[in-house]
Chains A and B, each alone.
Chain A
Amino acid sequence: MPPVFDAGKCDGCGICDLHCPIDVIAIDEERRLAFARYSEECWHCGSCRQDCPTGAVDIVFPKKMLLV
């Protein structure tokens, strides 16, 4: 599930993609939008959210982690 990108704020600059230590994120060049290509590999480190210049990233934990 995490990270979730706000399409209204994300301009596809790619900083989150470069900084993700797990290579979870990719940029949809046509829509200029970041997306979690390998979301099941997210480590929830929050680097993408910390470094996003437009505040477009939200971390939403999967239910599998919250409800156990």
Chain B
Amino acid sequence: MGSAEQMGSVIETDVLIVGGGLAGLNAAIAAAEHGVSVVIMDKGGIARSGAMGGGIDHFTAYLETGEEWDTREAYLQNLGKVARGAVDLKVHNAIYCRELKGSIERLARIGNPLTQPDGTFYRTRSMGRDGPLSINFNGKKLKPRLADEVRRLGVRALEKVMTTSLLTRDGQVIGAMGFSIRTGDLHVVHAKATVLSTGRVDRLFETPTGIPFNTWQCPSDTGGAQAMAFRAGAALANMEYVLVSVVPKGFSAAGLNGLTGMGARLVNALGEEYMIRYHPHGSRAPRFKLAEGALTEIREGRGPIYVDCRHLSPAELEHLNMTLGYDKDTLPDFVRQKGIDLAKDPLELQVSEGAIGGPTGGLGSGIMIDERSAATVPGLFAGGDCTDQAGTCAPSVTSGYAAGKQAAKYASTVSSKKEIDWEQAAAERARVLAPMETKPGVHYREIEDVVQKIMWQGVGPARNELGLRKAIEKLDSVEPHLGDIGARDYHELMRANETRDLVLIGKIMASCALYRKESRFGAAHFRVDYPKTDDENWLGLVAARRNGEQIETSLKRLSYEMPEP
């Protein structure tokens, strides 16, 4: 029987935010501006945590300058085309379009404007857009500036605290609990509204270099929010899509957008700008097309592939060299240590490991949210990459802010919180801390390596029914061995709990991929046994919900009318 005394201190708040990355900090600002009390829980430190912590170089926005491609309608029309079958335009309109102008102003106000020093926007075109909708900017201080603003507003941040479980009562979310990865202290946060914003799933697939943390996006992002929400009964969507990118050989790093946006060409071993064969935008095609092109070129023997900047003008090269480290701070170091000069040498590329991070730019994979940023379980909201309708930089900023605002509004309507179910909390504590008692136990990597191999082999960029069924069977057979993982300290306890989440997320992904009997978004969901896109039967979101210990899948159909502003 659990009790408050056994569980350490309980923190009372109006709004709890789990995950202090780009979306989470914008959520915290919104909620605090609404006048409610706010607590953030983060596995890292909020100044640099999350996928954008070290920096970011572009922000997708239409600016309504009068050009026909520069409007809300043109943006949504393009997204409805590029992300057809995954984007819910009404929701995306609410969490991105309605918050865009305010977000651009907010970033300027907190001291990291999207403009160049002369006050203008440097705009480039890439990733399948109809116009130059990418604002190139120096976002190396974006996270620290947001963290300063969050602290100025009086938000309490619990840093180096891993959140493991949502607290529920009568089917409603009433907060969350977690532990300090340094001291092991338990933290129970009792909240009127909870926002989840822990990002993508980046450690689910085997990596090409064999270094598990050499991942394109943040390897701390292991689907904590998706796993927690699913366990609490919330629906997830867009979970079947595997996101692979094209990255420098040896270094799974972001930054390709900056290169192709500047006009760099992707070329194969024959010197052909091969992307022309896959998409009318060539090297500026959407990411899932870039992945499909790279996979095909290499498979058909036309690799190695390169990114070639040699034709760029001196001014373009200068801008490129100046901004190359904005997205990935250490990419210039890597290029230099490899002995490459982009003005003279093409840079060899590879296909990255897989991830769950939305089917295409601007979208995410995870908690299904509505126009009020609400999950399908009361009291729960979400923003950023861990939702089905927002992903990458700009939508994380806007959807985080929207989620914080909606959570604060909801909290204002709750007069008294439902009591914590201490039995539930005690059971969760026992589950989470178990690896500390398992002696000697196996190292978490031993299990996670297997999970990553199962996922890459069975649930990667080419899939079929038998392969997916086998992957689910294998993950089922891994599950009992999770209890063998031992942790020698609280850092390893964090990893052990992440591995456990990854097994659940892997099963959800495979189940959704098995359910969707068609192919969509190039390599993101390519069913060898159903190679065509089938809008008649599959134009919509695959939702995954928990039914006891089973994963239940269903289709939520989408239609494509232009939403009201």
* Chain A residues close to B by CB (< 8 Å): 2, 18-23, 37-38, 40-47, 49-51, 59-62, 64-68
Contacts and interface: CB of A to CB of B under 8 A. Distances in A.
B338 A66 contact: yes
Contacts, number: 109
Given A18-B47, A45-B328, A49-B329, 16 more contacts: A18-B160, A21-B45, A22-B213, A23-B44, A23-B181, A23-B494, A37-B491, A38-B491, A43-B214, A46-B54, A49-B330, A50-B55, A51-B47, A59-B330, A64-B210, A65-B209
A45 B329 contact: yes
A-B CB proximity, top 4 nearest: A46-B329, A45-B54, A47-B48, A19-B48
Nearest to A26: B491
Most buried by B among A20, A42, A61, A65: A65
A20 B219 CA distance: 12
Interface in B104-126: none
A42 B213 contact: yes
Nearest to B215: A43
B315 interface: no
A23 B214 CA distance: 15
Nearest to B350: A68
B140, B144, B218, B250 pick with most chain A CB within 10 angstroms: B250
A49 B53 CA distance: 13
Contact of B250 (A42, A49, A65): A65
Interface in B23-64: 43-45, 47-50, 53-55
Contacts of B45: 18-21
A23 B181 CA distance: 9
B341 interface: no
B87 interface: no
Contact of B211 (A21, A23, A49, A65): A65
A45 B491 contact: no
Contacts of A23: 43-44, 160, 181, 220, 491, 494
| Max chain A C-beta neighbours (<10 A), residue from B251, B253, B329 | B329
B181 A50 contact: no
A44 B44 CA distance: 15
Interface of B: 43-45, 47-50, 53-55, 140, 144, 159-160, 181, 209-211, 213-215, 218-220, 249-251, 253, 325, 328-330, 333-334, 337-338, 491, 494
Given A50-B54, A59-B330, A65-B250, A41 B48 contact: no
A17 to B, nearest CB: 8
A64 B209 CA distance: 7
Contacts of B219: 22, 41, 43
A28 to B, nearest CB: 15
Nearest to B208: A68
Nearest to B338: A66
29 contacts: A2-B330, A18-B45, A19-B44, A20-B48, A21-B49, A21-B53, A22-B218, A40-B213, A41-B213, A43-B213, A43-B215, A43-B220, A44-B328, A44-B330, A44-B334, A45-B329, A46-B328, A46-B329, A46-B333, A47-B48, A47-B53, A50-B329, A60-B337, A61-B251, A61-B337, A62-B211, A65-B250, A67-B250, A68-B209
A19 B213 contact: no
A61 B330 CA distance: 9
Given A51-B48, A66-B338, A45 B211 contact: no
Contacts of A64: 209-211, 250
A60 B337 CA distance: 8
Contacts of B250: 64-68
Contacts of A50: 54-55, 140, 329
B48 A45 contact: yes
B330 A65 contact: no
Nearest to B21: A21
Contacts of B491: 23, 37-38
Contacts of B210: 64
Contact of B218 (A43, A60, A61, A66): A43
Contacts of A62: 211
Contacts of A60: 337
Contacts of B251: 44, 61, 65
Contact of A20 (B44, B140, B330, B338): B44
A61 B338 CA distance: 9
Contacts of B215: 43
Contact of B48 (A21, A38, A65): A21
Nearest to B445: A40
A31 B283 CA distance: 51
B248 to A, nearest CB: 9
Nearest to A3: B330
B246 to A, nearest CB: 16
Nearest to A48: B48
A64 to B, nearest CB: 6
Contacts of A22: 44, 213, 218-220
Nearest to B211: A64
Contact of B249 (A2, A21, A40, A68): A68
Contacts of A45: 48, 53-54, 218, 328-330
B19 to A, nearest CB: 11
Which of A40, A46, A67, A68 has its CB near the most chain B CB atoms (within 10 A)? A46
B349 to A, nearest CB: 12
A47 B329 contact: yes
A42 B218 CA distance: 10
B377 to A, nearest CB: 28
Contacts of B334: 44, 61, 65-66
